[in-house]
């Protein structure tokens, strides 16, 4: 791990993720009926009350929880906490109707408006970017079989040390982040490097929970994508590599069999073929 990366902290990444989340996520719930807010809030609180009663939670344990919740806020780790331990259930519920590709969690490190690379191109990366070269080809279609020309494929992933550009210091702004536009046949070709497994930040509140509970902090290697086309539902997914030690016990519970890639060796690295089938928007 480089000296530059050694300065990355949970608080630093958390603050970036928190500000990004606050800036672009709240508009979607504007106008939510008070009855809906009341229903959800009451049921969450009732679930907490039930846990306290069922397990006879002590004041010492309650005060430790209170202190930990304050720490999560101080380090800006709410996006990390919620995305790692809650989002996968929300995603399952939100997309259970879909007939096309399976998706999974977005995670806390998405950034919109990544540089456009056309239908075929490379993601921005450093000249000495570590990692096995990876060439990915695919096609975007609708569930009815229609080719989706002009579909947008956004890709982002961590570097070999497990860090994301714009959330760790010393990394170029758009490193390993790009957007691609499918050609007239709905096809695209992306050149990047194979990512590595990594640990979520453990020097803050989330790390304290992991340590206290005896859990592990590992995520398997993965590529993040968002795939969109006019008149179709946005697909958010992560794509995984076979043989990873943590495919079966991902800390974020985000791995699905349908999202597993099949890399093949090539003269200059590896190749993968993986396309997307999008569901039409529901009326």
> What per-residue confidence (pLDDT) applies to 89?
97
DSSP helix/strand/coil, 203: coil
Q: Is residue 112 part of a domain?
A: yes
pLDDT (mean) for 3-21:
57
Give pLDDT, residue 4.
Answer: 41
Question: 201: pLDDT confidence band, cut at 50, 70 and 90?
Answer: confident
Short-list 251, 201, 194, CA closest to 223: 194
- 49 found inside a domain: no
193 in Cβ contact with 130 (< 8 Å): yes
Confidence of residue 233 (pLDDT cuts 50, 70, 90): very high
More confident call, 28 vs 146: 146
At 53, phi and psi to the nearest 5?
-70, -40
pTM of the predicted structure, to 2 decimals: 0.88
Query: Residue 266 domain-assigned?
Result: yes
Residue 154 token pair:
């956004």
Domain harbouring 264, CATH code: 2.60.130.10
Q: What DSSP designation does 169 have?
A: T
Show Cβ contacts of residue 279 under 8 Å, excluding neighbours closer than 6 positions. Answer: 97, 98, 99, 100, 142, 143, 232, 233
Domain membership flag for residue 37: no
How do residues 14-64 score in pLDDT, each as one tens digit?
A: 656 666 655 565 666 778 899 999 999 999 999 999 999 999 999 999 999
Give the helix, strand, coil percentages of the chain, each rounded to 5: 30, 20, 45
Contact (Cβ atoms closer than 8 angstroms) between residue 79 and residue 14: yes
Structural domains counted in the chain: 1
In a domain, 12, yes or no: yes
Residues 6+ apart with CB under 8 A from 124: 115, 172, 174, 175, 176, 177, 178
Contacts of residue 26, defined as CB under 8 A and 6 or more positions apart, other chains included, come to none
The 10 Å Cβ neighbour count of residue 252 is 22
Q: Is residue 24 part of a domain?
A: yes
Query: Any idea which of 11-20, 78-87, 244-253 has the lowest mean pLDDT?
Result: 11-20
* Domain-embedded: residue 57: no
Residue 169 covered by a domain: yes
Q: Domain containing 223: what range? A: 5-30+77-278
């Amino acid at each position: 791990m480089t000296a530059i990366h050694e300065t990355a902290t949970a608080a630093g990444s958390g603050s970036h993720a928190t500000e990004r989340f606050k800036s672009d996520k709240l508009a979607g719930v504007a106008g939510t009926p008070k009855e809906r807010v009341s229903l959800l809030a009451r049921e969450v609180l009732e679930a907490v009350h039930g846990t306290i009663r069922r397990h006879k939670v002590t004041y010492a344990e309650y005060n430790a929880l209170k202190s930990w919740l304050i720490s999560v806020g101080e380090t800006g780790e709410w996006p990390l906490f919620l995305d790692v331990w809650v989002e996968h259930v929300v995603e399952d519920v939100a997309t259970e109707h879909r007939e096309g590709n399976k998706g999974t969690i977005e995670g806390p490190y998405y950034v919109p408006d990544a540089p456009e690379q056309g239908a075929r191109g490379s993601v921005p990366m450093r000249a000495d970017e570590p990692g096995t070269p990876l060439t990915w080809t695919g096609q975007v279609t609708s569930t009815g079989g229609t080719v989706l020309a002009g579909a947008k494929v956004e890709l982002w992933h961590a570097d070999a040390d497990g860090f994301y550009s714009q959330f760790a210091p010393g990394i170029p702004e758009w490193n390993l982040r790009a957007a691609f536009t499918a050609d007239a046949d709905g096809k695209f070709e992306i050149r990047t490097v194979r990512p590595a497994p990594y640990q979520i930040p453990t020097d803050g509140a989330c790390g304290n929970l992991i340590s206290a509970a005896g859990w592990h902090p590992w995520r398997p290697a993965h590529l993040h994508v968002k795939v969109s086309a006019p008149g179709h539902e946005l697909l958010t997914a992560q794509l995984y590599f076979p043989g990873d030690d943590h495919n079966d016990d991902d800390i974020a519970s985000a791995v699905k069999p349908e999202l597993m890639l099949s890399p093949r060796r090539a003269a200059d690295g590896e190749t993968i073929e993986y396309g997307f089938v999008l569901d039409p928007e529901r009326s």
